[in-house]
Amino acid sequence: MTTTDSERSWQPSASLDVMQRRAKLLYDIREFFQARDVLEVDTPVLSRAANTDANIDSLQLTEQQQDWYLHTSPEFPMKRLLASGSGDIYQVCKVFRQGEQGQLHNPEFTMLEWYRCGYSLQDLMDEVAELITQLADKDVLLDAALQLSYQDAFQTYLKIDPFESDTEQLRACATSADIADAATLQLNKDGWLDLLLSMLIVPQFPENKLVLLHHYPASQAALASLDANDPRSALRFELFINGVEIANGYDELSDADELQKRFEQDNAHRENQEKAIMPIDYALLEAQQAGLPQCAGVAMGLDRLLLLLSGATELSEVLAFDASRA
Amino acid sequence: MATYNTNEFRSGLKLLIDGDPYIIVENEFVKPGKGQAFNRVKIRNLKSGRVIDRTYKSGESVEAADVMDHDLQYLYNDGEFWYFMDPDSFEQIGASEAAVGDTIKWLKEQDMYTVLLWNGDPITVTPPNFTVLKVTDTDPGVRGDTSGGGGKPATLETGAVVRVPLFIDIDEMIKVDTRTGEYVGRAKEE
């Protein structure tokens, strides 16, 4: 960035109207969860352990000769609370991700994350739809949710099977859709799936409708459990509204050994990409060893939700001060 | 060799791609929460003016193009090159016909132009948005005709032809918008 301090505006990037809408949104969220007996919790923003996900980079700082990481979501400590017997919990907090800045990205953003014990993935998707419908109020007309499996979405919109296709078939699909540089980009299979999904499928989703895309490929399970009926897919969903990704949910993986394996795989991916290896959260592994109740959890980007509810097109319009003014 | 990482991408950044200098017109950061991040950019070739799309994996580095705008004074044309001078250093530089391009019809000796230099060589010459030029040829003025309609072509001292109102005469100074090639008004005598 070449913007100098003197060029930077002191004024907020969001209007007062939008800030009032944000306050109402937070109030309504708390009311929603209070009515459902879900406990609000507050976990540390700074952690000695970090997210190992190869596509999510943590901001790091040093204090008392110790490396600390700003959390990229409150998932790990919230799961430790669940293992300790907290029951259903939710949290609203700021999370941080390095290198994410754009029309729909800001390095710090507000996340709502909640966990429901005994819920299936379907139960949680239903609750997400109920919450959004309630929060949207009369601001936006949202049609009933469309539920679509990852495989069906690829077959419907691109006539290609995401599980059975290889990287060259996925590349050919991108090339025939005139994605610039598709012929030369070097991507692994998940990279191609991400490209096709975000550039060609999501933009075709119906407007003003909640789209719940579920059963992501097992290679993109993150911390979701795999589908026992079809281990090629994971019990993971994402919510999209008008082409914007709003939430990401899992039927939570409870097996501690499998969790450790995924952390180690993540770090191996990081090493391949010449990214720093992240310290694994052993406290979480111990908590899961002790026992995580069967649960489903979801993280939702509240700034993006506010963007949709207030008719904004850029995240800066819903942040009091976006990163360029921070 | 200077490079830019994709996280430094923004409109106006100049890149060297396939041996040509480009400027970023639009940069879109695309990233699924848990997935691969991309930068989808629209870039304009600074030599040809053509705009193309590129897709980068975020985190990649792209070579920077050593291009800079300079405000230079136009001096003369020797039949092959158009010479410009830096008014501070008095250094002179010759621009080729390709670099001068369409600006040729706005070139007036002593006036200032924006010259884009790439590795020290001019690649484009841009006139000021507004310029004042003398009418060297047009049909005789029709006095009293103040109606907006019609108009007539007028040739200016630099060779440019613009449509002017009927009352404009030869030897009058007029102000022209070089971006649209349109007559703006009579220039006041200075």
A-B contacts (CB, under 8 Å): 76
The whole-number average pLDDT for the span A103-119 is 97
pLDDT value at A3 more than 60: no
d(CA B139, CA B129): 26
Q: What is the dihedral of CA A134, A138, A140, A143, to 10 degrees?
A: 60
- Contact at CB, B31 and A100, closer than 8 angstroms: yes
pLDDT value at A197 more than 60: yes
pLDDT value at B188 more than 80: no
Nearest of A238, A149, A234, A243 to residue A201 by alpha carbon: A243
What pLDDT is recorded for position B175?
95
What average pLDDT is seen over chain A?
A: 95
Q: What are chain A's domains? A: 16-142+208-325 (3.30.930.10)
- CB-based contact, B11 to chain A, within 8 Å: no
d(CA A221, CA A236): 7
Q: pLDDT for B134-170, tens place per residue?
A: 999 998 866 665 555 678 999 999 999 999 998 899 9
A298 close to A235: Cβ distance less than 8 angstroms: no
- Contact at CB, B55 and A179, closer than 8 angstroms: yes
What pLDDT is recorded for position A268?
97
pLDDT value at A249 more than 50: yes
What pLDDT is recorded for position B190?
52
Question: A51 to chain B: which residues are within 8 Å by CB?
Answer: none
What share of chain A in percent tops pLDDT 90?
92
pLDDT value at A142 more than 90: no
Q: pLDDT for B110-144, tens place per residue?
A: 999 999 999 889 999 999 999 999 999 998 866 66
What pLDDT is recorded for position A1?
41
A216 close to A201: Cβ distance less than 8 angstroms: no
Q: Which helix (H) or strand (E) is A127 found in, with range? A: helix A121-136
d(CA B125, CA B101): 8
For testing contact with chain A, the best of B7, B29, B34 (most A CBs within 10 A)? B34
- Contact at CB, B28 and A103, closer than 8 angstroms: yes
Rounded to two decimals, the pTM is: 0.84
A146 close to A158: Cβ distance less than 8 angstroms: no
Q: pLDDT for B2-41, tens place per residue?
A: 999 999 999 989 999 999 999 999 999 999 999 999 999 9
pLDDT higher at A229 or A145: A229
The whole-number average pLDDT for the span A85-99 is 97
What pLDDT is recorded for position B49?
86
The whole-number average pLDDT for the span A242-268 is 97
Q: pLDDT for B52-101, tens place per residue?
A: 999 999 999 999 999 989 999 999 999 999 999 999 999 999 999 989 99
Distance (Å) of CA A205 to CA A103, A124, A175, B14, B37: 19, 21, 21, 35, 20
Q: Nearest CA to CA, how far is A64 from chain B (Å)?
A: 30
pLDDT value at A2 more than 50: no
Q: Helix, strand, or coil here: A81? A: helix
What pLDDT is recorded for position A5?
52
The whole-number average pLDDT for the span A101-130 is 97
pLDDT value at A29 more than 90: yes
